[in-house]
Amino acid sequence: MLVLVAPGQGAQKPGFLTPWLDLPGVTERLTWWSAVCGLDLIHYGTEADEEEIRDTAVAQPLLVAAGLVAAHALFEGIGGATGLAGLPNRIGAVAGHSVGEITAAAAAGVFTDEAAMVLVRRRGLAMAEAASRTETGMAAILGGEQDDVVAHLDKHGLTPANVNGAGQIVAAGTAEQLAALAEDKPEGVRRVVPLKVAGAFHTDHMAPAVAALEALVAGVPVADPRTAYVSNRDGGVVTSGARVIERLVAQVSNPVRWDLCMETFQKLGVTALVEVAPGGTLTGIAKRALPGVTNLALKTPDDLDAARALIEEHAVPALATPAEEELREA
């Protein structure tokens, strides 16, 4: 069984969209999405520097657009289907890390690409505005026992904003709290690495952004996922489109439990994992946390043939298995 995953903020690099523009229709698609979300995605994905695309309001739409471009290219023509219509007959589950959940939801048919771009643009702007109120940030903690690390963070008033598994937790909080953590690392931790993000995402600091998104999503047309959708909240399989979008909004101020998502992949019987552009982060975690599972990151169009071959080798129809039924949200 193959899982399709989408990375979150921090995965972007200057110029990473450039090779994708060589594919037929990609420039036109990005031009349309740019108009939809009010952001020049082609400029930011090809010409902008690292500082420009670090901006939360830019990075998030750029990542979702890149992931959807890669997903469309990957599934175009597979099994005779057009675009993502072929996904349910090939992919057993989808999931995304943080903002990647919007990519995953659109790929699974919960809402349209256009709705995804409107939603992610508003999400990025709202989170950037919330982050501007207090100087906050995030830092990756590498090594140590999970329970010990979480307890140590609580001592400093920090939130374990991303519990990624494979010995990686991302702490979030104020600049002062993060400085204290750098001086007082948890026992057994190898390194504390400041992240190039502009706020304490997935914490209470993002509560204003949640309120802004709640006012927006009530009018978004949604459908139930076409394949198993694994949620960052608790690793549960969510089968209602309405519940997917509710969780997407609430997740902005709640920790990402990627470790639990990977546990669900295992329970569903994952044998392969493909990460859409800009791939690399989640496949790196999976190599350590999911031994025996084949991983492939879609970094450029040169990776498409290998990804398609992997899909054909590991494809299963997206039908409810006993394991999936047990993991579904009550």
Q: Which residues are catalytic?
A: 98, 202
Q: From CA 248, how far away is CA 122, in angstroms rounded?
A: 13
Q: What is the DSSP string of 226-275?
A: SSEEE-TTTS-EE--HHHHHHHHHHGGGS-B-HHHHHHHHHHHT--EEEE
Amino acid at 57: A
Q: What is the DSSP string of 296-308?
A: EE--SGGGHHHHH
Q: From CA 130, how far away is CA 132, in angstroms rounded?
A: 5
- Phi then psi for 190, rounded to 5 degrees? -80, -50
Sign, Cα dihedral of 61, 306, 238, 292: negative
Q: From CA 129, how far away is CA 201, in angstroms rounded?
A: 12
- Residue from 183, 160, 187 nearest 171 by CA: 160
Tell how far CA 131 is from the center of its chain.
19
Query: Helix, strand, coil shares of the chain as percentages rounded to 5?
Result: 50, 15, 30
For the chain, count helices (H), then strands (E). Answer: 14, 10
Cis peptide bond N-terminal to 291, omega within 30: no
